[in-house]
Structure 1
Amino acid sequence: MAAYSTGPFDSDTAQDLLERFAELTVAQRLEHLRLVFLGGPRDPGGPFEPVDPTEVIAGAALVALALPGGGRVRDTPQMEFDEEVAAAAVAGPDAGLVRLALDATRAVAADDAWFAGWLGAEDRAASRHTVAVIVDVLAGHVAAMSGRPGGAPGRAC
């Protein structure tokens, strides 16, 4: 992973996703996220390209930022909310998309290989923390939508 920090948008792959999303309407962004969380193709009009786990994390962060409680993601120490993130923002993700984001992110978090890409234990811990916050926001929303009292917190890494 060509990362330059531990946040969800701090890699070349995530930056590419943000740049691509900045050129799309919000509806197109939501559809592209659905494809990312389902494993591809990334571009409905293009060839099949496998989805990188970094895109899943970045996409899940975009979805979580659009939800009640998304400020918790914005407030993580690893999160930089800048003009690129704002230009790629999504609004109104439906319950199905939130569930897909949660499931895909949990799958990435369960595969320790993604976190192993970080060179140092401190960076791995920082990345795990951010992913855990993203999962918690997504899981809380899913729980609230399913009518479970208290919005059961998510279990991430």
Structure 2
Amino acid sequence: MGTFGVGLFDSDGAQDLLDDLAALSSAERVLAVTSTLSGVVTGSLTWNREVFPDEVVALAGLVAASLPGGRSLKGKAKTSLPTPGPDLIGMAVEALALASDFWMRAWVHAADAAEARENLNDLRRVLLAPA
């Protein structure tokens, strides 16, 4: 049984993914994040087999942590990216939109759902903030 929390990086799957990314060079990390987010956006990755909603939320959080408005996320992400360009930010926004409904279905308790929704809203604000 996996552990899930309402934070962007608070699941076993997200933590495992971040650990895997931390072991890569900066360039490999960007390539891996870009590849996964692109696969979500294009539909070439299968939900709950090749990619999970909590992983996509964590990847979007990692992108946001690399932006000026996401500094509070930086320590929670366990790794970092160089400042992302508009294409990667756009992919993160689009992939997050696709994953959000799946991720929100995980919350049984109203208080958890409300906190998770607020975390997603905060994440979107960082990703959509003007550069």
Provide the TM-score with structure 1 as the length reference.
0.70
Count matched residues.
Answer: 123
In structure 1, the gaps of 5 or more residues are: 41-48, 75-79, 145-157
Which residue of structure 2 aligns with residue 137 of structure 1?
126
Shift >6 Å, 4+ stretches: none
Counterpart residue number, 1:149? none
Alignment of 1:108 onto 2:99: yes
Question: In the alignment, which residue of structure 2 is the partner of 1:52?
Answer: 52
Equivalent of residue 92 in structure 1, options 66, 83, 106: 83
Larger radius of gyration: 1
- Give TM-score, length-normalised by structure 2: 0.83
Moved more, 13-22 or 3-12: 3-12
Hey, what does 1:154 align to over in structure 2? none
Q: Deviations over 1:74-123 (max 9, x none)?
A: 3xxxxx935xx33x2112211110100011111222x2x32121221111
* Paired residue type of 1:121: A
Percent identity of equivalent pairs: 35
| 1:35 Cα deviation after fit | 1.5
Unaligned stretches of 5+ residues in structure 2: 41-48
Partner of 1:36: 36
Secondary structure (helix, strand or coil) at the match of 1:81 reads helix
Aligned twin of 1:81: 75
Which has the higher relative contact order, 1 or 2, with Cα contacts under 8 A spaced 6 or more apart? 2
Residues 9 and 58 in structure 1, CA contact (< 8 A), matched pair in contact too: yes
Question: Any conservation in 2 of the 1:8–1:57 contact (CA below 8 Å)?
Answer: yes
